[in-house]
A = this chain, B = another copy of it.
Amino acid sequence: MRIYLDHNATSTARPEAIAAMTHALELGGNPSSVHAAGRAARGLVEQARSAVADLIAAPTSTVILTSGGTEANAIAIESAVAAGTKRLIISALEHDSVQETARATGAAVETLPVDRQGAADLAWLRERLACWDAAEGRAFVALMLANNETGVIQPVQEASEIVRAADGWLHVDAIQAAGKVVIDSRGIGADTLSVSAHKIGGPQGAGALTFGPRATLSRRQHGGGQERGRRAGTENVPGIAGFGAAAKAANPRELQPQAAWRDAAAARLKAHGCVIMGEGAPRLPQTLCFGTPGFSSELQVMALDLAGVMVSAGSACSSGKVKASPVLTAMGQGDLAGCAIRVSGGWNTSEDDWNAFLEAWLEAHARHAARRKEVA
């Protein structure tokens, strides 16, 4: 048995994406070449750019293709600092690629707190921006659209109104939300917004950033002048083509049924003392994060893996390191943060997969409880 329920780490590549990549590889050509092969490769890149733009309702000309979500986030943050911002407000929910990049800029970093349900505290943000010191440049606020661990959807539209009133710059990491909820990057008022291919069934190694009229982007990679000079380097044509195909295929509706399957599993888990993270907040339909007192994240992930069910503890990027999730800790979950796992479905996940997870977990939990009883 092999049940993959770690789509928030990396989703399964869609057949459409694999086909588009193979086609691009067979076609060949460098998009900067003026000959027929070059023009064909350029066509693939621009077609994909347009599909990605559609996914997030952004004007195609504002979409910069990157090597992934991390780079897209980096361009946004580094651009704000280059444009004069001396202090960054980063929500406690943000991914390491935002947290670490912000700290590496040398600018001061302040944390936008989060409530117990895993939603950003906008009252704090309003108060903080009301007394913003203009000497620190434009306020920059990073608030993701949906959290990768809990799936909690953030009040981004409301945040953007607050940020805009203070003439600030709102960066929205939509990497985990893309393809799972409908995204209108302009409508929600994001000044910059990032997405990644491999979270929506495209390949790893491709991402994008869209920027609005109030954001001034600086160059991150220098050289051949690709991406209007903002991100030099020969375009990853196969990766971009796969991204475009995945963006076209991704449809939030296809994931809707999973909310019920997830909630059914959650009800059973709660009967065993589990705490569902962000249960009271709007969440992505296919993400379930829960803590089990006394049953460490690591043991749960390992036991499930042995049973052929793949889930994660926290985000994949930090799951190599055994430490409690900073996001859950920020949510005030205390010790539970070290006993939480994330189960996340994708475009090819069935109700049977959710059931298989539940059965495997119940068995692992029973064995764990029996062992603890023995020891006690």
Chain A residues proximal to chain B, CB less than 8 Å: 2, 4, 6, 9-10, 12-13, 17-18, 21-22, 25-26, 28-30, 32-38, 41, 67-71, 73-74, 95-101, 103-104, 196, 198, 203-206, 219, 221-226, 232-239, 242, 301-302, 304-305, 308, 310-312, 315-321
Do A35 and B96 form a contact, CB below 8 Å, given A67-B67, A67-B71?
no
Question: Quick check: A205 and B33 within 8 Å, CB to CB?
Answer: no
Question: Quick check: B319 and A232 within 8 Å, CB to CB?
Answer: no
Do A36 and B310 form a contact, CB below 8 Å, given A10-B30, A223-B100, A225-B317?
yes
Question: Quick check: A232 and B100 within 8 Å, CB to CB?
Answer: yes
| Distance (whole angstroms) from the CB of A222 to the closest CB of chain B | 4
Do A316 and B234 form a contact, CB below 8 Å, given A33-B310, A101-B222, A222-B103?
yes
Enumerate 20 A-B pairs (CB-CB under 8 Å) in ascending A order: A18-B25, A21-B21, A21-B238, A30-B316, A32-B319, A34-B305, A35-B304, A35-B305, A38-B316, A68-B233, A73-B223, A74-B221, A97-B221, A104-B222, A205-B206, A205-B239, A224-B315, A225-B321, A226-B317, A238-B238
18 further A-B contacts with Cβ under 8 Å, apart from A205-B235, A205-B236, are A9-B32, A30-B316, A32-B317, A33-B310, A35-B311, A67-B233, A70-B224, A95-B223, A95-B224, A97-B233, A100-B223, A101-B221, A101-B222, A103-B222, A203-B236, A203-B239, A205-B239, A225-B318
| Distance (whole angstroms) from the CB of A209 to the closest CB of chain B | 13
Question: Quick check: A74 and B222 within 8 Å, CB to CB?
Answer: yes
Query: Please, which residues of chain B bring their CB within 8 A of the CB of A34?
Result: 301-302, 305, 312, 319-320
Top 7 A-B pairs, shortest CB-CB distance: A205-B236, A224-B317, A97-B223, A70-B233, A67-B67, A100-B222, A10-B30
Give CA–CA (A239, B21) in the complex, Å: 10
Give CA–CA (A219, B78) in the complex, Å: 14
Partner of A97, one of B222, B302, B319: B222
**How many copies of the shown chain assemble into the complex?**
2
Query: Please, which residues of chain B bring their CB within 8 A of the CB of A301?
Result: 34-35
| Residue in A6, A29, A104, A238 whose Cβ sees the most chain B Cβ within 10 Å | A238
Do A10 and B234 form a contact, CB below 8 Å, given A101-B222, A222-B100, A318-B224?
yes
Closest residue on chain B to residue A238 by CB atoms: B203
Closest residue on chain B to residue A322 by CB atoms: B34
Question: Quick check: A232 and B96 within 8 Å, CB to CB?
Answer: yes
Query: Please, which residues of chain B bring their CB within 8 A of the CB of A95?
Result: 223-224
Query: Please, which residues of chain B bring their CB within 8 A of the CB of A204?
Result: 30, 234-239
| Residue in A71, A99, A304 whose Cβ sees the most chain B Cβ within 10 Å | A71
Do A18 and B26 form a contact, CB below 8 Å, given A35-B305, A233-B68, A239-B239?
yes
Query: Please, which residues of chain B bring their CB within 8 A of the CB of A101?
Result: 221-223
| Distance (whole angstroms) from the CB of A268 to the closest CB of chain B | 22
Do A32 and B316 form a contact, CB below 8 Å, given A26-B13, A224-B70?
yes
Give CA–CA (A182, B203) in the complex, Å: 32
Give CA–CA (A290, B139) in the complex, Å: 54
Question: Quick check: B206 and A37 within 8 Å, CB to CB?
Answer: no
